[in-house]
Amino acid sequence: MKLGALAMRGLIGGLFIGHGTLKLFGWFGGSGPDATAGMMEKLQFHPPRRHALMAGAAEAGGGLLLALGALTPLATASLTSVMTTAIRKVHAANGPWVTKGGWEYNAVLIAALGALTESGPGKPSVDSTAFPRLHGPAWAVAAVAGGVAASYLAERPPLNAPPQPATEPTGRFVREEERVSAGA
C-alpha cells in the first residue's frame, strides 16, 4: 500500500466532495446552487446556473473518483479544470499569496493532482485492480493539460445559445451599439 497516495486521495478527494456539495446542495453550511449561480453570474459565466451545477458536479464527482482511486486521470483533469478556473477568474489578479486572495493554494492542489496521476493512486484503489497502467508521466501531462483546456472550453457558450451582451470590467452590460460607437 502506498500510504502517502491513500492519504492524499482521501484528504483531497474528500475535501473536494465536500466543496462540491456546498455548491450543489448547500450542505455543510454552503451556499447551494442559487447563490453559486449568482457568483457565476458575477464572474460572467452564462448561463450561470448551468456553470454552478457543472462546477459543483466536477468537484464532487472528481473528488469521489479521486478518493476511490478510480479513473484517476479523469478525476484529476476534472479537479484541475475547476482549480484553473478559480485561478483565472478569481485569484490571478491578487498575486500568488493566499493571504491576499491569491492563487497559491489552487496551484498546490493542481501539482498534487498531477503527482497522484503520475505515481498512480496506490492500493487499495479501483485503478490498481481494474486499470493498473492508468498512470505515469504521459497521463499526468494529459490530465493537467486537459483540465486547463476544459477550464477555457467550459466558459464558451453552447453552439445553439443566443449571444450574451458584452460587459465592461465593471460588470455593466454594454449594448452592441455602445461598443461599436466606443471603438471596442
Residue-wise pLDDT for 115-142, tens only, equals 999 999 999 999 999 999 999 999 999 9
The answer to whether position 139 is within a domain reads yes
The answer to whether position 184 is within a domain reads no
The answer to whether position 145 is within a domain reads yes
The answer for 13, left when phi > 0, alpha when psi is -120 to 50, beta otherwise, is alpha
The answer to whether position 170 is within a domain reads no
**What is the predicted pLDDT for the residue at 179?**
43
Distances 158 to 1, 40, 47, 175, 179 between C-alpha atoms, Å:
44, 16, 10, 21, 23
Report the chain's mean pLDDT, rounded to a whole number: 89
CB 117 within 8 A of CB 73: yes
Domain housing 108 = 3-158
DSSP annotation of 10 reads: I
Q: What pTM did the predictor assign?
A: 0.84
The answer to whether position 165 is within a domain reads no
Burial of 54 (0-12, 13-18, 19+ CB in 10 A): middle
Structurally, how many domains does the chain consist of?
1
Vertex 52: Cα angle to 174 and 62 (nearest 5): 140
The answer to whether position 180 is within a domain reads no
**What is the predicted pLDDT for the residue at 116?**
96
The answer to whether position 176 is within a domain reads no
Where does the pLDDT of residue 155 fall: very low under 50, low under 70, confident under 90, or very high at 90 and above? Answer: confident
Vertex 64: Cα angle to 62 and 67 (nearest 5): 105
The answer to whether position 175 is within a domain reads no
Q: Which residue has the cell 486521470?
A: 73
**What is the predicted pLDDT for the residue at 181?**
47
